[in-house]
Structure 1
Amino acid sequence: MVSSPHEAMHRIFQEYPGLFSRVSEVLGVAIPAPTSVTILPTDLSEPRPLERRVDTLLRFDTETDGSFLLAVEAQGKKDPAKPASWAYYLSYLHTKYQLPPLLLVVCQDRATAEWAAQPVHIGPAQWAALTLRPLVAGPHNMPVITNTAEARKDLALSTLAAITHAGDPEVGAILKALSAALRDTPEDLAHPLAELIAQGLGRRPAAHQWRHLMAVDLSFYKSPISQEIREEGRAEGREEGRTQGRAESRAEDLLLVLEQRGMDIPDGARERITHCDDAELLRHWLTRAVTAPTLEDVFTED
């Protein structure tokens, strides 16, 4: 599974294109609901060896305003080179499809979102030939949904809101509400959204909380993320087993060395050795047992 917030921030619009209508409404831009949506190729390369790819590209058809293109870009940090690339994307799309293009940038931190939202004027200061004005969705304007009933009303929007608030202090409450909402949702809808959330949280601390919520929820027992969690648990169990095996082996070696040296091993000392599960400490004792004049010297710290 690709565990990338970048993927989740734009791919959710491929899986749920109608989400953009709700996002635009949240952002205060009146975009009519589409009558149809077409996922278009994301390769914007030119014949010359210069490859440019937009993250997600969709065509929206509406009854009142005709058709337009939506390019979705997931932006993780400020990048001075990006505005020029975005302007190129929009110009290229307008030329190729002869449709008005719109750029939506999705961010997970406020500073990046505010940077991305700034208009970029291309051209002389006296007369800007082109102005780049992306729509930006991020923690500064996406809703904080901590109520299960509210999350259930629009699961796709709630998922995107959770992803954009991945670094917020309230993300725990957001994830709990969303987990409870998904619990009563059909598997074919709940599981993909759960995967997108796992991707969107990436390596942030909230990711561990989300994985725990999924692991303890039997409704997600067959989902890919739960299977992955169980496999990690099995791997940890195997490692614990190997560690325990090393400890038992070294305890046996230590007792054998002490017996071969003719040392009397009281029950308390024997129990201390056999019950020790620290393989490194047992190795330390074993090293000392070769030359220690008494049993007490084996356990005495330097």
Structure 2
Amino acid sequence: MPNRGHQMWLELIRLRPALAADLLDYVCKGLVPSTAHARMEPTDLSEHKPVSYHADAVVTLGKDRPELAVIVEVQQRRDPQKHLTWPAYVATARARLGCPTVLLVISPKAGVAGWARKPIPLGHPGLVLRPLVLGPEEVPVLTDAQAVPSPELAFLSAAVHGPGPDGPKVFEVLLDCMETIDADWAQGLMDEVLAVLPRAARNLLEGMMKTETGEYRSELFRQVVHETQVDFVLAMLSSRGVTVPEEARARIFGCTDVEQLLEWGKRAATADSIKDVLG
């Protein structure tokens, strides 16, 4: 079952297919058509009924007709079976769409990215598939908000490089970008990045969202933190099998005190009833 770290890449590409072209350009310059218009294609790459092949995402680039197809696969672990299915994806998509086709493998883990880069010999003399791989080294470290191509790339930069030495810089760029886009979209991106970051990096980002007085920099960030903490409380209660009546749920959602929500979250981790949490 794909986890949240896997799904966030695909969700961004589904919402903005042109992101696949941006990422491909970081891996291999010159492949993206100059007149590229991006559109999502069906991910079912099956040709024969007994065998079913489903890629994570398929994006075509072109103006009036597909000029390049990009098969996107998000890989978080080594899987030898992919060396059999990836060539099938490329061949089938090329036959179905009638245009050059490339395989773009996204792996936020350096070790897995190294494995994915290995050439895949197909047996026929000279026929070798060399996957194009976007690993941590290829994801841009965006430290200047004025030079960010898109908010989605600022988000990916923060998600990948936030735990590293450039964390404060990429987080600052992320926060600046989030202030320039639709509040609901920004809130969704912030929720995702807070969910995938390790604890230390998440604490750093949450600290940067506050002013010197301890208040959050904007209403957006107050909403993000509030929803994150509410989700945490409810998730803990659900994992414990605790029923949450509508009155209690309304009280949790209505609480604007982050410290109180944190306390409720701690209690929920060992609670047997809603009274153990809310008193």
Say if 1:171 and 1:132 are closer, same or farther in 2 by CA, change over 3 A: farther
**1:72 offset after TM fit, Å?**
0.9
State the distance in 2 between where 1:95 and 1:242 align. 54
Q: TM-score, normalised by structure 2?
A: 0.69
Structure 2 unaligned runs (5+)?
Answer: 211-215, 234-251, 253-260, 270-279
AA matched with 1:42: T
Letter in 2 for 1:97: L
The residue identity in structure 2 corresponding to 1:85 is T
Counterpart of 1:40 in structure 2 is 41
Q: Within 1, Cα distance between the matches of 2:156 and 2:94? A: 27
What CA distance in whole angstroms lies between the structure 1 residues aligned with 2:170 and 2:154? 9
The one-letter code of the counterpart of 1:40 is E
1: distance between equivalents of 2:230 and 2:218? 12
Aligned to 2:144: 147
2:154 aligned to 127, 151, 158, which one? 158
- The whole-number CA distance in structure 1 between the counterparts of 2:101 and 2:199 is 33
Counterparts of 2:20 and 2:8 in 1: how far apart (Å)? 14
Give the Cα separation in 2 of the matches to 1:3 and 1:166. 19
CA 1:84–1:66: 2 relative to 1, 3 Å? same
User: Residue 133 of structure 1: which of 123, 126, 130 is its match?
Assistant: 130
For structure 1, list consecutive stretches of 5 or more residues without a partner in the other structure. Answer: 244-302
Higher relative contact order (CA 8 A, sep 6+): 1
SS of the counterpart of 2:73? strand
Q: C-alpha separation between the residues in 2 aligned to 1:242 and 1:196? A: 22
Q: What RMSD over aligned residues (CA atoms) do the two structures have, in Å? A: 3.5
Larger radius of gyration: 1
Aligned-residue identity in percent: 22
Look up the equivalent residue of 1:132 and give its one-letter code.
Answer: L
In 2: Cα distance, 1:58 partner to 1:171 partner: 31
Deviation at 1:123, TM superposition (A): 0.7
Residue of structure 1 in register with 2:81 after alignment:
81
| 1:26 aligned partner, one-letter code | Y
Match of 1:21 in 2: 21
In structure 1, the residue matched to 2:275 is none
Cα distance in structure 2, aligned partners of 1:197 and 1:160? 8
Query: Structure 1: which amino acid aligns with 2:79?
Result: D
Tell me how far apart the structure 1 counterparts of residues 12 and 266 of structure 2 sit (CA, whole Å).
38
1:171 equivalent in structure 2: 167
- C-alpha distance 158-231 of structure 1, shift in aligned 2 (>3 A): closer
Q: What is the correspondence of 1:87-98 to structure 2 with a 5 Å cutoff?
A: 87-98=87-98
Aligned-partner residue type, residue 206 of structure 1: A
Task: Give the partner amino acid of 1:179.
Answer: L
Q: Report the TM-score when normalising by structure 1.
A: 0.65
Contact preservation (8 Å) 1:44, 1:51: yes
